[in-house]
Amino acid sequence: MKLYIATSNKHKVTELRALLTEALPEIEIHGADSLGGMPFVDETAKTFEGNALLKAEALNALATDKSWTLADDSGLVVDALNGAPGIFSARYAGPDANDGDNRTKLLKELSGVPKQLRQARFVCALVLICPDQEISSFTGTCEGHITLKPEGVGGFGYDPVFKPDGHEHTFGILPSEVKHAISHRARALNALAEFFRGRS
C-alpha cells in the first residue's frame, strides 16, 4: 500500500517513516514532494485534529492514485501557560520563528515558574484519509515537564527543553529509539498501526 504524508517538514517525514515502517514493513511511504510538494494550508482550526484534517485534505486532493493520505498536527501543551503554545507551537515566537526562537520564548514565559509547576505534554493528532475517502483520527500524548534550560541538541522543536516522565534526560539527549518508543507521535502511530492491522 502507498501512503502519502502531508508535510514539508523533512524531520517529521523521517520520524514518521521510521515509526511506520517498523510497525508495517509492507507500507510504502512517500512525502508530499512525491506529489509536487505540500500545498499551502491556512491552519485555521482550533484543535490539533482540525488542523491535521485540513492538511490531509489538501494533499489528498493532489493524489490521483488509490492511495492513503496521512497528516499530523502536533504541539506542546504547557499547563502553567493555560495550554500554550498549543496549536501555535511551530510559530510561537512569530511566523518566521525557528526552533531556537520558540524555545527561547517558552523558557522566558516560564521564567520564575518552579519545576513542580512546569508540567507539560506533547500531543499528536493524526488524520488518515482512506482511498474511499473515509476519515479516521488517532491521538497520542507524552507527559513530562519543561526544563529550566535546554539540555542536549538532538531531536527538533521543543525536544531539548522537554523531559518525559520517568526519564532523567530530555528528548534532546535521549536516544532516538527511546523517543520513538514513548513519544506522542509513536503512541498515535501505534493506534494507526492497529487500525491497519485490523483491516488486513
What the block records as the C-alpha cell of 14 is: 523521517
Q: pLDDT tens digit string along 59-93?
A: 999 987 888 999 999 999 999 999 999 999 999 99
CA–CA distance, 49 with 1 (Å, rounded to integer): 24
Q: Tell which wins on pLDDT, 13 or 79.
A: 79
What the block records as the C-alpha cell of 85 is: 503554545
Catalytic-labelled residue, pool 42, 65, 72, 73: 73
Q: Within a 10 A sphere around the Cβ of 141, how many other Cβ atoms?
A: 15
Q: What are phi and psi of 164, to 5 degrees?
A: -70, 145
| Total number of domains constituting the chain | 1
Q: Is the pTM value of this prediction over 0.95?
A: no
What the block records as the C-alpha cell of 116 is: 513542580
Give the pLDDT confidence score for residue 200 in this predicted structure: 59
Structural domain of residue 190, as residue ranges?
2-199
Q: How far, in Å, are 2, 90, 111, 117, 175 from residue 25 at the CA level?
A: 12, 30, 45, 41, 22
Q: Within a 10 A sphere around the Cβ of 160, how many other Cβ atoms?
A: 22
159 catalytic residue (yes or no): no
Domain holding 137: CATH number?
A: 3.90.950.10
